[in-house]
Chains A and B, each alone.
Chain A
């Protein structure tokens, strides 16, 4: 069992491969959005003229799609964005990883079912209530047998969950040997509407950032800095009314 786990881990490493490297235009696209965010966040730290200049430029750039990776795709719908080979790669990678989890798990389960079902492996040294029957005697259809007896299939599952610590010890914390994660993944797969590999629609994000920027009411943080400094160095009483003209 341990060997199967190690094998799984190595196989996953083999299949995962390198994440695709973003090219210059991808970076440019992301950083352009970041720049808008910074401007929206820290707008009060630069003079009004400087802010307006930047706001105008960025809004125009966002609207024209200056920073878009593929300017032609500006008006395309998000489904067309999937045609981008890079996005395809990302999605394929995710699929591959999921398949990696499912295939060996199914194989091993089939194998286990085939070999281990139908016989008793160990006997517990202590009695247990009837409730544990389901947990300890799966694969055996004998309603009258004492719960002390553990079927081989159940023993497999108990080991599967128990071995997680061992794997963490020999393969390091982030390993893909234990199958429990795949199980949870399988059960939640149906619930996942959007795959993680869904391409981001930068055009839409740019446009919403443009809206964000254009509604900012700019007020320079230094508008009444004279008063603040005078107060700080003890030259003036603190006053609360705004000193803007």
Chain B
């Protein structure tokens, strides 16, 4: 019994969202009443089960758990947030919004409430308001890199690439060793036409994460594109003025990089079936 509690605690601590497993693990605990073995953590387990139940659409379970939590912590802000979430889940976003607004009015520093509010706005498709809220949230909590990442995604959804790039720079400043953030940044730069920065960031990705497929595809694309543009001359090709390639490496290096990317991609895909291999080789023009 305690092993499932331990597993739940692990999931909770790594803040993974695995609602199915959580519900499966907690079901016998809830039914047999042995959940009290968790000691002081029992309330955390209830909260975890509640969120998992909402994710899985098990509204009845969520309601039962919320009842228990409400009995224990009547007017708690944290429980209020759960009420807001269940309102969102059953399709009353306006009610939920009202609850969150009340919470924020009472305590403007309530991070969880402001995040829920932004998530709610996002789920309703009100991107511009969500962006506004998130920007004002970040003005206060400037070191919350996950919020910066979220803002970048919101900007990307609205095709505001320069703004998204700024947010991703902020994320990289705070988490420089995570290759995924470099990858996002590279892709945004590639989209904007900053090929020199994109290439370097793609290189950073494969430096941090060996044989990163997405990284090598990026290198191949960026290096070939730069080669194409520089060899045709800046003025000739019609749309080359959109691209920034000033700080790109020399031609020889670019060729070697492109070659390296091809080699690695072929090596990575060598273990797969023939159809995949053929597709890759066709793309690489081998």
Q: Which of A32, A34, A50 touches B169 (beta carbons < 8 Å)?
A: A50
What size tier do the contact residues of chain A reach? 20 to 34
**Closest CB of chain A to B110's CB: distance in Å?**
10
**Closest CB of chain B to A152's CB: distance in Å?**
43
Of A35, A229, A233, the most chain B CB neighbours within 10 A belong to A229
Write out the residue numbers on chain A whose beta carbons fall within 8 Å of the beta carbon of B203: 222, 225-226, 228-229
Query: Once the chains bind, are B200 and A222 in contact (CB under 8 Å)?
Result: yes
Answer yes or no: A235 CB below 8 A from chain B CBs.
yes
Answer yes or no: B140 CB below 8 A from chain A CBs.
yes
Write out the residue numbers on chain A whose beta carbons fall within 8 Å of the beta carbon of B210: 232
**Closest CB of chain B to A75's CB: distance in Å?**
24
Write out the residue numbers on chain A whose beta carbons fall within 8 Å of the beta carbon of B172: 42, 45-46
* Chain-B contact segment, one of A17-25, A82-90, A193-201: A17-25
Known pairs A23-B109, A46-B172; A232 contacts B207 (CB<8 A): yes
Write out the residue numbers on chain A whose beta carbons fall within 8 Å of the beta carbon of B139: 28
Query: Once the chains bind, are A230 and B260 in contact (CB under 8 Å)?
Result: yes
Answer yes or no: A39 CB below 8 A from chain B CBs.
yes
Query: Once the chains bind, are A38 and B257 in contact (CB under 8 Å)?
Result: no
Query: Once the chains bind, are A31 and B140 in contact (CB under 8 Å)?
Result: yes
Report Cα–Cα, A22/B210, bound state, in Å.
44
Answer yes or no: B37 CB below 8 A from chain A CBs.
no
Known pairs A21-B107, A21-B109; A31 contacts B174 (CB<8 A): no
Report Cα–Cα, A47/B204, bound state, in Å.
12
Known pairs A45-B173, A228-B207; A34 contacts B142 (CB<8 A): yes
**Closest CB of chain A to B248's CB: distance in Å?**
9
Of A21, A22, A38, A47, the most chain B CB neighbours within 10 A belong to A47
Answer yes or no: B176 CB below 8 A from chain A CBs.
yes
Answer yes or no: A166 CB below 8 A from chain B CBs.
no
Answer yes or no: B12 CB below 8 A from chain A CBs.
no
Beta-carbon contacts under 8 Å, A39-57 to B: 39, 42-43, 45-47, 50, 54
Interface residues of A (CB under 8 A from B): 21-24, 27-28, 31-32, 34-35, 38-39, 42-43, 45-47, 50, 54, 220, 222, 225-226, 228-230, 232-233, 235-236
Interface residues of B (CB under 8 A from A): 107-109, 139-143, 166, 169, 172-174, 176, 197, 200-201, 203-204, 206-207, 210, 249, 253, 256-257, 260, 264
